[in-house]
Amino acid sequence: MIMNYIFGGLMLISVICGILTGRISNVSDAILSGSDDAIKLIISLTGMMCFWTGMMKIADKGNITAVLAKFLSPINKHLFPHYEKTGAASKAICMSMIANFLGLGNAATPLGIIAMKEMQKETGKTKTLNNSMIMFVVLNTASIQLIPTTMIVLRKIHGSKSPFEIIIPVWISSVIALAIGITVAKLLEERSKIKKWKS
């Protein structure tokens, strides 16, 4: 439901703003380049996606994912209560979490998509995200990673004397941000439950 309004709203706002700011020709270009970018993204994603789903199958048969899922289950049973701790969805969630933590960035995206697909498979095809799925998306929109490589490299290129000094502030900031994100998600899920009860 809400995606319809977001999608339509974004396009209406862009056209109106484009006219007001005199950048309508930029908007026009963006429509062409945007669809171009989208298909380029999909093509580059397809390669990694197929490669990862293939490697995941091997990891799964080799029992790595089960070990990871067991290791992370004390956290995951609170964050993703809809899924069994050693089910296919939990395993995919763990692989994606590890990839993000190690800072794989774009290479981690396909693993996240695999996890979403597995979650949907396990709880049935619906048009609505369940609380666990929302928690997983929130977890992925936060950026918990061991080493913020991109920023360190960029700082070094621009002649920083101490490119690494941002590491600890980044850890602090991302951990607190994620904690707030999880809390807000939990609070809002309570509220949406109550709403449903009343109606």
Partner 1 sequence: MEKLGSFILPGMIFVVVIFGFSKKVKIFDTFMKGAKEGLISTISIIPAIIGLIVSISMVKASGALDIFTSFVSPVFAFFGIPAKTVPLILLRPISGSGALAFVSSIFDSCGPDSLIGKVVSVMMGSTETTFYTIAVYCGSVGIKNIRHTVPAALSADFTGFIVSVLAVKLLLS
Q: Which of residues 159-198 bind partner 1 (CB under 8 A)?
A: 159-166, 168-170, 172-174, 176-178, 180-181, 184-185, 188-189, 191-192
Query: How many Å apart are CA 59 and CA 91, to the nearest integer?
Result: 10
Q: Is 66 in the site for partner 1 (CB under 8 A)?
A: no
Identity of residue 160: S
Least distance from C-beta 44 to partner 1, angstroms?
11
Q: Is 34 in the site for partner 1 (CB under 8 A)?
A: yes
Query: How many Å apart are CA 67 and CA 60, to the nearest integer?
Result: 10
Which range, of 77-85, 86-94, 100-108, touches partner 1 by CB under 8 A? 100-108
Number of residues that bind partner 1 (CB under 8 A): 108
Helix, coil or strand: residue 108:
coil
- 8 Å CB contact between 14 and 23: no
Residues 137-156 interacting with partner 1 (rule: CB under 8 A): 137-138, 140-143, 147-156
The two tokens of residue 10 are: 């974004």
Which of 105, 106, 104, 88 lies closest to 45 in space, CA to CA?
A: 106
Q: Which is nearer to partner 1, 50 or 84 (CB)?
A: 50
Among 1, 74, 124, 199, binds partner 1 (CB under 8 A): 1
